[in-house]
Amino acid sequence: QEKQRAMVNEMVAKLTDICWDKCITGSVGSSFSNSETNCLKNCAQRYVELSMLTVQRFKNMQKM
């Protein structure tokens, strides 16, 4: 349980770093621009999908 929580926290931290660097181009104000919001949503979705795909691949490899 604790190991899974640590893995989730690490994944969120990586996602935040990657997507922030990619999507936030100006100085941070009280809210994100529409393009920044869309970029963050898309980046997070792609990151999660890729992570899930990677986990599935490893599971499939272990079955062989």
Mean pLDDT of 41-58: 90
- H helices then E strands: how many in the chain? 2, 0
pLDDT tens for 24-44 read 987 878 889 999 999 999 999
Containing domain of residue 38, as a range?
Answer: 2-63
Structural domain total, the chain: 1
Residue 19: what pLDDT?
95
* Whole-number pLDDT of residue 26: 79
Residue among 51, 2, 42, 1 nearest 22 (CA):
42
Question: Which pLDDT tens digit goes with each residue over 5-23?
Answer: 888 889 889 999 999 999 9
Residue 47, domain CATH = 1.10.287.810
Q: Check: CB of residue 17 under 8 Å from CB of residue 43.
A: no
